[in-house]
Amino acid sequence: MVSSEVAVQNSVGLHARPATFFIQRANEFKSSIWVEKDERRVNAKSLLGVLSLGIVKGTQISIIADGSDEEEAVKTLVELIESNFSE
């Protein structure tokens, strides 16, 4: 199991379009992946789950993965968030 913390800095947080990009990338991996905010953990491959966390700009989240490609999954998703979803 691998995890990493990252702060969401894009203007709308992890909502609607950025969340969709995030979930599409998460679904490219075989590992189980979760997003955690304030002790609440949801499936990173679920749009409803990710949106339910209400992640806004400046929110610190953890990305956790467990599986055969866990390290690559966490690295890729952290880079996606740090790039502000290429906005």
Q: Distance (Å, rounded) from C-alpha 41 to C-alpha 53?
A: 9
Q: Which residues carry out catalysis?
A: 15
Give me the torsion for CA of 77, 19, 8, 11, rounded to 10°.
140
